[in-house]
Structure 1
Amino acid sequence: MEKLPKIGVPVVIGLVILLVIITKSAITIDSGEAGVLYKTFGGGVVTDEPPLGEGFHLVAPWNKVYVYEVRRQELFEKMKVLSSNGLDIQLDASAWYKPRYNDVGKLHQEIGEDYLQRILLPTIRSAARSVVGRYTPEQLYSSKRDAIQSEIFEETKKIIKDQYIELDEILVRDVTLPNTIKEAIERKLKQEQESLEYEFRLVTATKEAEKVRIEAQGKADANKILSASLTDKILQDKGIDATIELSKSPNSKVIVVGSGESGLPLILGNN
């Protein structure tokens, strides 16, 4: 085996060193991520430039890159909170959040990679306790879930607005009350529903009775007016008209015998 020329040894060593430097310097940022550059000899965390975007980057081997996920993420949390009358309530909620892209460097410098535990979670818990404490268990169980969801979101967003975090939404997924309280609320709601149904039936029956009374009164008034307008002369004329019409019938033979007490003709016989 032939020995390498003397000039070849330094070249090989140089290539190895170069390969190590490139390996240490190569950084790949995946989709949905951003890189925060830390310059060891250049002032620390870079905050006055955009973060490293997706793709391949070469950085000096003595510098560091901290990778943050910047796509929207979801946080699930179960919390024990107190209602306005001091009862324990379990709240299941989730938050949609992400780091503010252009401020990832400031987020890393001022808060750190565990910003979720340091900032977001404590803020959500504090806001949830504050909001839920304004409502009774009955309100939380029935009609106020959307309201507390909105209020927790607004309070949390207000607190973290200067913390380089974007909060998109907070969802209250479940409100769990003690079983005894839940059963009592359900009984009360059932009784209220039954009471409303009874009141509805009562109002309906009252309206129907009033309708019948008005119709009967109308008929009575009509009959009274009709009776007052009928004289003996009108009745006699109506009787004569009816007799004439009857005499015209092809199926009848009319024989006028005389007249009754009213003076109307008497009609006898038919086919």
Structure 2
Amino acid sequence: MNYTKSIISGIIALVIIVVGFFSSTSVDSGYRGVLLQLGAVKPTILTEGFHFKLPFIQTVQPIEVRVQKEESSQTAASKDLQMVTAMVAVNYSADPGAVNKLYQEIGLDYRTRIVDPAIAESLKAITAQYTAEELISKRPEVSAKVKEMLASKLTKYYMILEDINIKEFAFSEEFNKAIESKQTAEQNALRAKRDLERIKIEAEQKVAQAGAEAEALRLKKQEVTPELIQLKQIEVQEKALEKWDGRLPSVTGGATPFIDVEGLSKK
């Protein structure tokens, strides 16, 4: 009898242990728990930590809510029908408050089913609004519009877009050569324009200098008067007398210079 009671007690204890084990669950950090009751999704979302559940009836499906990164190469066409390849990096996460709906409507493979197609569709839709050159010069604007569209798409499927980065736009070799040729032509045109401006400035400077010289010569001619000429002649004669020793030259090669001695003696 005691042996039978011991067996029954052992069975009861084992059942309690098993029930207790299957009546509890825990959700790891960075996850949320989707509560399933006989396979049906319940409205309750389990947060991080320890929780109780109905054994054998309820199960918990963990869903990661930490930021995830998706990096891929996408091909699209520009407004002027140039093929462009973009390297896109996207950071996103599952909405912690809607993981039950995410699991119920999409499942665990939401990255392949939703995220990747949404990135490709958003990039193609936005790049089609810009020419190839504008995609290069307006990349921040393009990135902002792609982010806005992608965020709207992911929100519909209970996901949050954290950030997007378009690392580069790559074009065909023919287009790259065309861009290089255009840049060279623009640089040559700019250089020619600067040379023309320099020549124009130098010509204006020469004209101004010539005008100044002509004006100076005109002023000098206005200053030459008969009185000035007579004064200069007197100054020359005075300098000659200062150097004369009072003797006339014994031999001359021409006329003797006239010196007004009487006029000088009156001074």
Select 2:198's aligned residue among 176, 200, 204.
204
Query: Which sections of structure 2, spanning at least 5 residues, go unmatched?
Result: 244-267
Q: CA, structure 1 residues 203+21, in 2 after alignment: closer, same or farther (shift >3 Å)?
A: farther
Q: Does 2:135 align with 1:156?
A: no
1:103-118 equivalence runs, <5 A: 103-118=98-113
**2:61 corresponds to:** 66
TM score, norm. by length of structure 2? 0.75
Deviation by residue 1:125-183 (Cα, 9 ceiling, x = unmatched):
1121112222333333x313223212211222233333321112221112222222222
The DSSP-based 3-state class of the residue aligned with 1:135 is coil
Task: Provide the rounded CA distance (Å) in 1 between the counterparts of 2:209 and 2:10.
Answer: 115
1:13-32 equivalence runs, <5 A: 13-32=11-30
1:226-265 equivalence runs, <5 A: 226-227=219-220, 230=223, 232=225, 261-263=233-235, 265=238
Please state which structure has a larger fraction of its residues in helix: 2
Deviation by residue 1:82-123 (Cα, 9 ceiling, x = unmatched):
223434322211111112222222222233222222322222
2:86 corresponds to which letter in structure 1? L
Contact preservation (8 Å) 1:83, 1:132: yes
The DSSP-based 3-state class of the residue aligned with 2:181 is helix
**2:251 corresponds to:** none
2:60 corresponds to which letter in structure 1? V
**1:45 corresponds to:** 41
Between structure 1 and structure 2, the one with the greater Rg is 2
The DSSP-based 3-state class of the residue aligned with 2:137 is coil
Task: Provide the rounded CA distance (Å) in 2 between the counterparts of 1:32 and 1:204.
Answer: 67
**2:184 corresponds to:** 190
Contact preservation (8 Å) 1:89, 1:176: yes
Task: Provide the rounded CA distance (Å) in 2 between the counterparts of 1:218 and 1:174.
Answer: 59
**2:85 corresponds to:** 90
Instruction: Report how far residue 231 of structure 1 moved.
Output: 5.5
Select 2:72's aligned residue among 56, 69, 77.
77
Task: Provide the rounded CA distance (Å) in 2 between the counterparts of 1:25 and 1:235.
Answer: 129
Q: CA, structure 1 residues 149+14, in 2 after alignment: closer, same or farther (shift >3 Å)?
A: same
TM score, norm. by length of structure 1? 0.74
**2:173 corresponds to:** 179
Contact preservation (8 Å) 1:35, 1:67: yes
Quote the sequence identity (%).
26
2:70 corresponds to which letter in structure 1? L
Query: Which sections of structure 1, spanning at least 5 residues, go unmatched?
Result: 237-258
The DSSP-based 3-state class of the residue aligned with 1:107 is helix
